[in-house]
Structure 1
Amino acid sequence: MGSLSPAQIAQLKAQLQDAVVCCTERGLYQASKWAAELLNSFPESDHDDSLTDVDSPMSEAPPHTPNAVPKDATEARLEARETHKYLLAKTFFDCREYDRCAAVFLPNIAPKGPLQGSSPPSAKSKGKGKGKAAEGTPLKPSASLRAVQELSQRSLFLALYAKYLAGERRVNEDSELLLGPKDGGVVNKELQGISAILEEWFSSVPESGRQPQGWLEYLYGIVLAKGKNEKLAQDYFIRSVHLCAYNWSAWQELGSLIGTVDELHEIAPRLPQNLMSFIFNINASQELYHVDEQVEENLLRALELFPKSSFLASQRALLLYHAKDYDSAEKVFSDILVADPHRLDHLDSYSNILYVMGVDHSPKLAFLAQLAINTDKFRPETCVVVGNYYSMKSEHEKAVMYFRRALVLDRSFLSAWTLMGHEFVEMKNTNAAIESYRRAVDVNRKDYRAWYGLGITYELLEMHSYALFYHQRATALRPFDPKMWMAVGQCFSKVGKITNSIRAYKRALHAGCYYDGGTGLSFGSQDMSALGGGVLDPEVLYQLALLYERLHDLHECSHYMELVLAQEETPEYDEAEPEDRRGGVGVTATTTKARLWLARWEFMRARYERAMELANELCQDGQEVEDAKALIRDIRARTERGKHDEMESE
């Protein structure tokens, strides 16, 4: 995406403005808000240019473009004829009286039955099966089709979308208690009727000659996705974004169906080549935890065009968060908060960052919680922020209470399910933790934290084969996260697959270097220095050493024990710098255990001088002192005995 000319920028503004109006007319308020925020994030100079001269051609709104919603003469006539009814239905919709809204245009058409599965309209449906509705439809198919054909696409979408929202609200009401017996097992009974009506409409489109606008395709995609027909849903979402590119809700639904980076690359040629596809690629890569130079470059280019966009800035913060650059991510979120203190979007992710950064940032987290409560205490993001605050204070019961509140407000709020699972793990309530993580995976199968949480929970239950399966799912989503590979290595070790465990721990070392700026390498112990100038994880090296010991390969084990000691202090540092800036991990419990093992190893090999040196270092470290002193006595006894034997031989 290169730089845009003034005419292109003016056209883009017109398209975004059109998207705000069209999304608002159809009750897609989140998409409307997104487009409006993007519309107001251009540089100030662009706004000023259009106001300098009222006679300037830049001050005139350009005509509708192919990316705007196309309106043929039939649609314009139908919309004009039903204006009064539309206004009535829209007021009902805005007052959240969804059934009344739908009844304005579709009285008693949509049946209320469980979704059995949806299928695309086919050639056969145009014949004897044309317009066939589900069981329980009170009107005949011909009457249903006739009523649908007499509506404009705008009114039909509003009515069916209201039916869908009414069904979703009843799902929440019927689910009753969170994590109760009915939670998660209730379906939207309106989906079958909505699907039947849309299939009728799509079947009649070729005969009627009406031009699709993309909104009904978007709604049908939602219905298909709810019915687990994800492949066909993806096709309809792609069709929708081609017809109406600036409906951000359609892009989000499409992104939710993409599970891997490979799938994202496969779908890219099928998307329209415009600004929205460019932004979608950035957002989808972020949600897949895919951070590379190309994504970062694309994001910077988008920020050049929309420098005041809070959405794009939050994407940058989330990419930094996924790359474990917590300080930079926190700085970006802080800047967003200063610019827009009442913006609650992604505030839960900001609180996660502050939580991960530790207790030193608890005052910031407390301030963030207070700010969110003062803005809107009944937003899921607010409840998650407050829950994180109580979790940092180790008040896990209160944290669970706030995460539950977030899920009562929105049962599909992913981070609340995952974080509540973490709290249940802390409270040793493994059954509730497993159920929370499973619900998180149901909401979004790309959430590696939920898969990892399931693995940890099954490890607590000593069910290591189950834990291994879930940890492997997490590593598939986060292949460059060393913590994921360490968990896989530990599970392989528990089930007795030592070779596989060694491979996993070496992948953990490689993954750690990915974040530290290291380069690729072969994985022999003699090549560990090629990992770069950064510090390796001593715990991973120590576990590798123990695994080689279990294989009775003591020489390879000693190599890794030496590498553990080498991480105490990196060789390249300036003596003038303070110790906390010289690199290395210093003396830790892990390095102490490695030093003790090496001291005993050297003693066994009769290398008493080296063993004595290591044992004296243990005494200086103040850890394992008693074992070190006992080893020193053994070394002295052995050396004195050796001297005595030499004297007798002389």
Structure 2
Amino acid sequence: MDDNLQELRYQLEDATIKCSERCLYQSSKWAAEMLDSLLPIDHEDTDPESPMDITKPTFPPVNNPFRVQDPAEAALEAQEAHKYLLAKSYFDTREYDRCAAVFLPSETPLVSLSLNSPSSKPKQSRSSLKGKEKLSPFQGSKGHAPRNPYPRLSQKSLFLALYAKYMAGEKRKDEETEMVLGPADNGLAVNQELPDIAQGLEGWFEERSTKGLDGKGQGWLEYLYAVVLLKGHNEELAKTWLLRSVHRNPFHWGAWQELNDLLASTEDLKQIVGELPHNVMSLIFHVYCSQELYQATEDTYQALSELESIFPTSAFLKTQRALLYYHSKGSLKYLFPDIGHFPHRLDSLDHYSNILYVMNERARLAFVAQIATATDKFRPETCCVVGNYYSLKSEHEKAVMYFRRALTLDRSFLSAWTLMGHEYIEMKNTHTAIESYRRAVDVNRKDYRAWYGLGQAYEVLDMSFYALFYYQRAAALRPYDPKMWQAVGSCYTKLERLEHAIRALKRALIAGSYYTDDAAPNASPGVGARRVLEPETLYNIASLYEKLGEEEEAAGYMEMTLAQESGGALVDDEESDENEYSSASEDAAQSDMEAEVSGDDASNTLHPRRRRKPRTSSFAMQNSDSNVAETWHHPTATTSKARLWLAQYALRREELDRADQLAGELCQDGMEVEEAKAIMRDVRARREEA
């Protein structure tokens, strides 16, 4: 065990140093934090006052594979040492073009790039980058293989030079767009350096392959090439190069993050699991991807627990656990890494502020905003925290100002795009909200909140067909969230596709249901358990059946609505099988709604004729699930409407005793009293006639 921990320590040390040397500061920070949280080795001397041999080297033995270097590369790095230090100093001072020019002298004057008129050549190259296959592979000229344009350099120096060119292009792209969502920010600006970098790297890899040096890559240039391919929307080829990068350099966290962005579903994750290297990084990647895909499964928690036994004090892993609980609607606010234990840490603080916002914890959110502002005012996370605070105070203009500031600092910051869209919805600025949500989707297609926001925006514009498409995307990402299916059902209702609306609402019922069992609250649902369902959804399903002229089905669902007052309907043995729930949810993950709702799982699970007769005289209910937002201890407006409907239905069927009983209960509830009295008068009149 100690040997494995020692080897892991050497690898993380190596990754921290090498990422820092190549100016990949976020990856270097991640590796250093994981190194610091690593489980202490038993024989380590941790007493600062005890004698210790300070001359003993802390570096791994020479035969460690992560320290061995190709002799040719080592010789080149030694020759370029002084130039490398100069180039890195330029990079650290954000002089990216000067950094690149140390190793790659520019043939074209830089002024021609920065002073282009609107009608000059670079603007034409922008349109030439559109489409999936136009960026890569690049060809030097038609019919010829790409040529390596670079001088003989070490991979370390070449990466730094090309990365500096990439960063220079990104900087100019941001300067060109000026203000966030301003007149010039139309989302069409591109990094003008990408074609040259892609074409040059393609020639460099081709030359090494010809010389038989393909297996001696270090993984850094492969990573940069994949990033360039991603910018050109060539995702399949980018995935190939990222897999090659993580095999050759498995402790570079940035490559794993880019690979995660390419996985849009759990199926994509399952497809590449066999292609990943077999080490602890693959396990960390699996947990991270599962959290990003909202898969809070038992396997994910087990893998996370294994990692926490190796990295017991890792703030990164604690954040992943908190987000998994958040996605599965578990206990929320106290699971996030304590700010006091990790002072001045702002990473993922925007997610924590979202949780506090949802829970309406205004005082705690104000405290977190104070801490973040005192640490660093100009971090995107800080701006999002402060923006959430102002949003909670209903000061939406100020909230937008802070979200814009976050995007000015980092235009790829997903939370700010999504949250700004929410604020514009509140301000009734629907078109700008749509643009914000679209940018969020461009950054991360797995953000169900942005898809749901787009659906809301188009629903406000009475464009139900478009809203339905975006709600379907959100539901495919979050098949266990009843709110997604309720939105889908609402759109189908507006489109007069009532049968599809019913199926969608049934899925919302399945996703939102939970079991109560006073005898064994922690046991699996069985005989004697009660499934509690959302009364409003049940009532809407009943109303849709009434529109279809199926009064018996409507009556069954009205009875189920009424049953929620007494704690839900009893569940028979055949109904307690949770496979129905998982089957429906797996179907829901498909992108085509027609295919998703064509099965009969949801219909069979919630068929009213399979329910026992509900109790209508008792309104007491035990709340045995602390994670449920609300329970029904007494009649509500929805259940009273269902009771009124059932009373009228019984009257139409000449069931006078039942109609009189329901009308009397309505009078006791104090809701729908006039209608109830009219029914009671009608019942008395019919009895007198009889």
Scaled by the length of structure 1, what TM-score is found? 0.88
Contact 2:478 2:484 in 1 (8 A): yes
- The verdict on how the C-alpha distance between 1:285 and 1:505 changes in structure 2, with shifts beyond 3 A counting, is same
Alpha-carbon contact 2:558-2:646 (below 8 Å) kept: yes
Matching residue within 656, 665, 685 for 1:608: 656
Structure 1 gap ranges (5+): 133-140, 519-527, 643-650
Letter in 2 for 1:385: V
1:494 aligns with 494
- Aligned mates of 2:243, 2:466 — CA distance in 1: 37
Match of 1:268 among 270, 273, 281: 273
Cα distance between partner residues in 2 of 1:120 and 1:637: 85
1:224 aligns with 2:235: no
Counterpart of 2:86 in structure 1 is: 88
CA contact (8 A) 1:68 1:245 kept: no
Q: How does 1:194-213 map to 2 (within 5 A)?
A: 194-208=197-211, 210=213, 211-213=216-218
- Alpha carbons of structure 1 residues 95 and 281: separation in structure 2 relative to 1, 3 Å: same
* Distance in 2 (alpha carbons) for counterparts of 1:187 and 1:47: 54
Residue 390 of structure 1, CA deviation: 1.3
Query: Hey, what does 1:461 align to over in structure 2?
Result: 461
d(CA) in 2 for partners of 1:480, 1:43: 36
* Higher helix proportion: 1
Cα 1:49–1:639 shift into 2, 3 Å:
farther
Aligned counterparts of 1:543 and 1:346: Cα–Cα separation in 2: 39
Give the superposition deviation at 1:212: 0.8
Matching residue of 1:40 = 36
In the other structure, the counterpart of 2:99 is 101
List per-residue Cα deviations over 1:371-407 (Å, max 9, x = no partner).
1111111111111111111111121111111111111
Structure 1 partner of 2:587: none
Taking only aligned residues, the RMSD between alpha carbons, in angstroms, comes to 2.8
Deviations 1:102-130 (A, max 9, x none): 11111105896546333348xx9899734
**8 Å CA contact 1:69, 1:244 repeated in 2:** no
Distance 1:580 1:67 in 2: 61
- Is contact 2:565-2:621 (8 Å) kept? no
Residue 629 of structure 1: how far off its partner (Å): 2.4
- Over 3 Å counting, the alpha-carbon distance change for 1:46 and 1:418 in structure 2 is farther
Partner of 1:437: 437
Give secondary structure in 1 for the equivalent of 2:332.
helix
Q: Which amino acid aligns with 1:176?
A: E
Superposed counterparts of 1:312-461, under 5 Å? 312-325=317-330, 328-333=331-336, 335-358=337-360, 361-461=361-461
Q: 1:467 & 1:95 partners in 2: Cα distance?
A: 47
Which deviates more from structure 2 when the two are superposed, residues 250-259 or residues 400-409? 400-409
Deviation digits for residues 409-448 of structure 1 (CA, Å, limit 9, x no counterpart) = 1111111111111111111111111111111111111111
Given that residues 313 and 336 in structure 1 are in contact (C-alpha distance below 8 angstroms), is that contact kept between their aligned partners in structure 2? no
Question: Match of 1:253?
Answer: 258
CA deviation vs aligned residue, 1:518-577 (integer Å, no higher than 9, x gap): 9xxxxxxxxx9999634211111111111111111111111111111111131799xxx9
> 1 CA distance for matches of 2:306 and 2:516?
24
2:566 aligned counterpart, secondary structure? coil
SS at 2:172 equivalent: helix
Q: Does residue 215 of structure 2 align to residue 215 of structure 1?
A: no
Matching of residue 631 in structure 1 with residue 679 in structure 2? yes
Q: Which amino acid aligns with 1:19?
A: A
Q: Which range moves more in the overlay, 263-272 or 561-570?
A: 561-570
Structure 2: distance between partners of 1:128 and 1:562? 74
CA separation of 1:449/1:204 partners in 2, compared to 1, >3 Å: closer, same or farther?
A: same
Deviations 1:135-157 (A, max 9, x none): xxxxxx7xx34x1xx21111110
Counterpart position of 1:569: 566
Does the CA contact (< 8 Å) of 1:67 and 1:244 recur in 2?
no
Displacement of 1:65: 6.8
1:25 corresponding residue in structure 2: 21
Once the two structures are TM-superposed, the CA of residue 26 in structure 1 deviates from its matched residue by 0.1
CA distance in 2, matches of 1:244, 1:516: 48
Preserved contact between residue 125 and residue 203 of structure 1 (Cα < 8 Å): no
Tell me the equivalent position of 1:8. 4
- Counterpart-to-counterpart distance in 1, 2:240 and 2:263: 12
Contact 2:567 2:620 in 1 (8 A): no
Q: How far apart, CA to CA, are the structure 2 residues paired with 1:505 and 1:237?
A: 41
> Which residue number in structure 2 is paired with residue 237 of structure 1?
242
Q: Cα offset for 1:54?
A: 5.3
Cα displacement (A) at 1:49: 5.0
Q: How many residues are matched?
A: 605
Normalising by the residue count of structure 2, what TM-score does the alignment of the two structures yield?
Answer: 0.83
Q: Any stretches of 5+ residues in structure 2 without a counterpart?
A: 114-121, 518-524, 571-618, 625-630
For residue 53 of structure 1, report the CA deviation from its aligned partner.
Answer: 8.4
| Secondary structure at 1:552 match in 2 | coil
1:171 counterpart residue number: 173
CA gap of 1:127–1:75, structure 2 versus 1, over 3 A, is: farther
C-alpha separation in 2, matches of 1:593 and 1:102: 72
Per the TM alignment, residue 579 of structure 1 is displaced from its structure 2 partner at its CA by 6.7
Aligned equivalent of 2:598: none
User: Structure 1 residues 460, 127: closer, same or farther in 2, change over 3 A?
Assistant: closer
- Letter of the structure 1 residue corresponding to residue 343 of structure 2: P
Q: Deviations over 1:622-650 (max 9, x none)?
A: 222222222222222332333xxxxxxxx
Report if aligned partners of 1:448, 1:473 keep a CA contact under 8 Å in 2. Answer: yes
Per-residue deviation, residues 294-340 of structure 1 (Å, max 9, x unmatched): 11110111111111000011000111111011xx231111x432311
